[in-house]
Structure formats: structure tokens, C-alpha cells
Amino acid sequence: MPTELSNEVLKGFSPIGGLKRQNLEALVKKTTIRELEAGQLLFKVGNNEKHTIFLVTGSVELCTNSGERTIIEAGTPEARNAICPYLPRQYTARAIDDIEYISIDSDLLDVMLTWDQTGNYEVSEIENNSDNNQDWMTTLLQTKAFHRIPPANIQAIFIRMQQVNFKAGDIIIKQGDEGDFFYTITRGQCSIVRETPLNKEGVKLAELGIGQTFGEESLISECKRNATVIMTTDGSVMRLAKDDFNELLNEPMLDWVKYAEAKELAAGGAIWLDVRLPSEYESFHEEGAINIPLYFIRLKLSTLDKNKTYLLCCDTGRRSSAGAFILNEQGFDTRILHGGLNTSELE
């Protein structure tokens, strides 16, 4: 019978076993036990995938290119630690018999361990359903962009967030208002709707659920809200004030480049992504640039390639930095043109 993943299983591994109970429970929800048949390879020498692997059942043979061999058996003191945690891996790992193992994103594990150990802050301090707490927090921690934030900032972000409850149909932010908070959904769902001159009822831009975020565009670009966010179910959000957002979350996520560096990146395969309006884009734009206005970026994520680097640009840098924040949250690699397309740096 397959092993069922639980807190007790994870406690058997180091350093996972030292996590607080709430964080162990969150990790259980985001991890699965995998199976591998006897004789199959777990990984080869030189493997660089950032996954931390623990053996749950069975045994694994480790072999170097020079022929040195080691056997790891589940349940032994050696198996408490990750298998070949250092990259690139120095061994080829082959299952001796049928095995079960867990593979955890190394960046996620590192963030969780650091978060767990950087103070007395507990998840339980947020007054909400425990399961939902873990879902939204773990979802945030799993975003690649969050891995770029200093650990102390992560702790401060969760401490400074404030919980607000809403009923279905409540408006969280309204198009045209000033931006004051960044939001993360902790319970329920909401819709992002943008009013246009031809559609006063609004065009639905996105549906968001637990762990997803909104409200960053106007905070970064210092413009009025460009859409309305409405709760479609009863729910709750955690909000982070504008100054805290810019200090703790925004700046660590953004990579700015000068025009000369951007041109070099473009020559090497990076793609210009112009987030201005189509009329601005038609007036002038970088050769080869694609145009996705800022307010459409969430809708167009599926058309972009996560294997590419995107050079975001606008007139001043404000809108492109807001776009970069959204893309970074989704795991894209971005750079932002410093000063924008209107700067004298282009000369």
C-alpha cells in the first residue's frame, strides 16, 4: 500500500522535521509522494535541477563517474538527509528496488525554513481558518518572485498585513480611486473588471482565488486604480499598505537596466515588451517589440514564454515596473528599462 504523506513522515527528515506544526501541514499539502520502479534513474551526475529529494521507502544506489558506490536505505540515519543535495549532483542515483520518495522545490524549502526561523511570528496570529491560512501563505511563498525577497522582509510582510472580511458583491477597490493597499486573497474569489467608454458595465479581466494578488499596478505606477475588484463570494483578504509594499515587496523584485544593457540583452534573444497603449506604441517603439498594454497583461500571460527574458518598457518606467511585478509573480524573467522610452539615455 502506498505511503500516505503526513506530518509524521516529514518529521523523519532533516531539516524539515524542525518546522513548526503549521508549516509542516502547509508543506504536506504542497508535496506528494512519488514512485519509481527498480532499476530506474532518479537523477544523473551533473543534474542541476533545484529539487530536494528524500527517500521514503526502498533503497537507492549512488554511483560516481569513477565507479565509487554508496547505498542509501530508507529509514536509516543516512536517509534522514536529502539525497545528494549539492548541485551539480556528483552521483547518479538508481533505484535498487521499487522506491517512494518526495521531491520539494529547493527554493521553496529554503524560504519556508528561513521564514520559520526568523522570529516568533506564528501563522496562528492571523485570525482566520487554519487551512486557508496555509493555502494562501504557501501559494505566495511558492512564487519565484518571492524567492528574491530578503527573509527579514518576508517576516515583516506577514506581520504588517491586515485582514479585512468581505461579502459577495462587495467592492474591494474601485476604478479611478487612489491606490493605497496591495491585496492577497485568503478566502473566497473575486473578479477584476475594467470599465471602458464602450462598456460601462465593465470587461472582466480575470478571476482570482486564494493566494493570488492584486492592486500593485497603481501603487507602483502612482496612478489611479485602472480596474474594479469585486468579491464574487464571501471571503477575506490580507492587505499591505502602500509604503510597506514599496519598501518590503516591490523593490526587491525589480531589475532595472540602462538602455545600452537592454539593447545587448535584446541582441542576445531577450524580447522587448511595450506596456503602453496601442496608440503610443504605434507612434514609436523598439524594433521587434510586442505590445501588451498594462491592463491586459493578466489576460495575456499564456501567450508569453517563461523561457525568455522580457525587457519591459513604457514612457517613464512606471507602467513597465508594474507589469514586471505581475510577470515576476508568475515566474517570468524580466528587466525594466530605466527611465523609460522618453529618456535622453536612448540617444
Please identify which of the residues 84, 190, 313, 314 carries the catalytic annotation. 314
| Long-range contacts from 263-266, C-beta under 8 angstroms, 24+ separation | 265/309, 265/311, 265/335, 266/311
The residue among 298, 336, 334 whose CA lies nearest residue 144 is: 334
- Annotated active-site residue 314? The verdict is yes
Catalytic site residues? Answer: 314
